[in-house]
Amino acid sequence: MKILVVGGGGREHALVWKIMQCPRVREIYCAPGNAGIAEVAHCVDMDVVDLDGLSRFAMDREIDLTVVGPELPLTQGIVDRFESRGLKIFGATQKAAALEGSKALCKDILRRHGIPTADYQVFNDKDRAAAHIRSRVAPLVVKADGLAAGKGVIVAQTKEEALEALDRIMVAREFGSAGDRVVIEDCLIGEEASFLVFTDGERVLPMASSQDHKAVFDDDQGPNTGGMGAYSPAPVVTEDVHQRIMEDIMVPLVRAMEAEGRTYRGILYGGLMIDGGKPYVLEFNARFGDPEAQPILMRMKSDIVPLLMACVDGSLEGMEIEWDSRAAICVVMCARGYPGSYEKNMVVHGLSEVTQMEDAVVFHAGTRLDRETIVTNGGRVLGVTALGDSIPQAVQKVYEGVARIHWKAMHYRRDIGRKALERLHVR
């Protein structure tokens, strides 16, 4: 088989790494890829939203399956474009991916179908939104409606903070056109978890649970980012909680999307809040999480390619996933200043030392090759990911790997996995 992976971040590196383990795969291409992906696949200098160019490439190279990583090409209709040309592609159609492309649409679907989520209101008028904020009880969550690379959600502890967030979104336009509308919702209290499933539009096959860390600084302080680290499994997702998630959220959502005329195939990613053992939906994403994909795929023992094909072909029934019983943790190493302004083109040192470690992988995100040297090329630069017999051992190993890598002006959180340790009563 020939596989094309669309994207160039840590998630896509993890997908390439996992797909290349399939004995049926002969060649892997990645557009645009990064310095790490280039070591194991053919990188194609093509933008992820060049839908015509990508589909032509897939036809010319006789690609057997295209796997889409990021949300932007999904919401712009890459799956529809490929399918119209008779090409097999894994991902949600444009109508289905709108579940992530519009937070207002997502909330409306959840409300119509009785899927548990926080109470909310949607506004495209700043003054009416401000009046609503003043009428509510803080804390509140203010969300830019459209895509904002994981950064358009602001948790406001006071009404004043909520009004400031509204100004940032609708007046200062920090998130561009994503802020044309805002969703203002009550703040759910509990512990967050990420829950991903494969679906062929009818059947739903769950993956291992995980937990993301959005805030840039330790103790969940500072602005939201695309994700600073993740671990799997998430102890907060007990067997009972897992069953509730499937029965109350994931299966009903797939049925709801079918009823809405938005048949959903691909990865369905629920960002959830677990409160007293009951799960509530914070948001849905239409693709693998980044960095959740890294620890999840490290733990996946099954061949991923048959799962991807089954989602495309509508044949998930009877399929199962074998998981490594060990824990996996990913720590994202980023450029200092991210998610704000930051430097690029800094030389990365120590990568070869981590590759010599057992059960540890460095997934590249914002990197590029400058002659023979790997340099930084983005905000999130690397995701060091490690397996351990337990979460404490995985934490120890991953930070041993992180300590071997350095470049000028780097930053990473030092508390990835701490919530799991606290839940397991490990100091």
Residue 265 falls inside a structural domain:
yes
- For the chain, the domain total comes to 4
What's the CATH code of the domain at 367?
3.90.600.10
Cα 233 from Cα 227, distance rounded (Å) = 17
Residue 48 falls inside a structural domain:
yes
> Within this chain, do residues 226 and 294 fall inside the same structural domain, yes or no?
yes
Give the model's pLDDT for residue 55: 98
Mean pLDDT by 10 residues, the chain (427 residues): 98 98 98 97 98 98 98 98 98 98 97 97 96 95 90 92 96 94 96 97 98 95 94 97 98 98 98 96 96 98 98 97 98 97 97 95 97 96 98 97 97 96 80
Q: Which of 118, 119, 120, 114 is nearest to 251 (CA)?
A: 114
Compute the radius of gyration of the chain from its Cα atoms.
21
Give the domain-ending residue among 76, 93, 110: 93
Give the model's pLDDT for residue 279: 98
What's the CATH code of the domain at 280?
3.30.470.20
> Within this chain, do residues 299 and 403 fall inside the same structural domain, yes or no?
no
Residue 103 falls inside a structural domain:
no
Give whole-number Cα distances, 227 to 24, 146, 299, 341, 345, in Å.
32, 18, 19, 16, 21
What's the CATH code of the domain at 162?
3.30.1490.20
Give the model's pLDDT for residue 427: 61
Residue 7 falls inside a structural domain:
yes
What's the CATH code of the domain at 6?
3.40.50.20
Cα 171 from Cα 125, distance rounded (Å) = 11
Q: Which of 237, 206, 238, 211 is nearest to 321 (CA)?
A: 206
> Within this chain, do residues 199 and 170 fall inside the same structural domain, yes or no?
no
Residue 77 falls inside a structural domain:
yes
Residue 154 falls inside a structural domain:
yes
> Within this chain, do residues 131 and 53 fall inside the same structural domain, yes or no?
no
Residue 205 falls inside a structural domain:
yes
> Within this chain, do residues 288 and 346 fall inside the same structural domain, yes or no?
no
> Within this chain, do residues 172 and 260 fall inside the same structural domain, yes or no?
no
Residue 354 falls inside a structural domain:
yes
What is the domain range of residue 144?
Answer: 125-180
> Within this chain, do residues 304 and 205 fall inside the same structural domain, yes or no?
yes
> Within this chain, do residues 339 and 398 fall inside the same structural domain, yes or no?
yes
> Within this chain, do residues 36 and 78 fall inside the same structural domain, yes or no?
yes
> Within this chain, do residues 228 and 251 fall inside the same structural domain, yes or no?
yes
DSSP string, 201-263: SS-EEE---BEE--EEEGGGEEEE-S-SEEEES-TTS-HHHHHHHIIIIIHHHHHHHHHTT--
> Within this chain, do residues 195 and 308 fall inside the same structural domain, yes or no?
yes
Q: Which of 134, 133, 58 is nearest to 143 (CA)?
A: 133
Give the domain-ending residue among 313, 336, 368: 313
> Within this chain, do residues 346 and 408 fall inside the same structural domain, yes or no?
yes
Give the domain-ending residue among 313, 346, 362: 313
Tell me the pLDDT tens digit for each residue of 69-119: 999 999 999 999 999 999 999 999 999 999 999 999 999 999 999 999 999
